[in-house]
Amino acid sequence: VRMKLVKDWLPVLLVCREHVSPIPSSQKSLYQELEEKFLQIISTLPMSESQELLQQCLSFSTRNVDECPHLVSAFNTWFRRARRGSLDQLHGN
């Protein structure tokens, strides 16, 4: 259900961002909050699904990195999980 929710609605968010440029400052916080919620949901998904969706989220990074700390946090979480999975496989866990 979470994967379907993000997979269906993330493209809508991305298209809205592309067609409303520049984003009015009154709506900027709404977009950032939606991005953050999507990234929080993505971080709860299995690694393969989250990897696929995070790649779509790279367009969030077209702004100043200070404006999207949630994207940096989501990628840090994903890389930590990926590394931990690699270490577990290496040690046979």
Among residues 40, 53, 47, the alpha carbon closest in space to that of 83 is found at 47
Domain range for residue 57?
A: 2-90
Q: Which position has the higher pLDDT, 87 or 40?
A: 40
DSSP 8-state assignment for residue 92? T
Report the chain's terminal Cα–Cα distance, integer Å: 29
Q: Could you read off the pLDDT of 34-56 as tens digits, one per residue?
A: 888 888 898 889 888 888 888 88
Among residues 36, 55, 56, 51, the alpha carbon closest in space to that of 85 is found at 51
Q: What's the domain count of the chain? A: 1
Model pLDDT, residue 84:
80
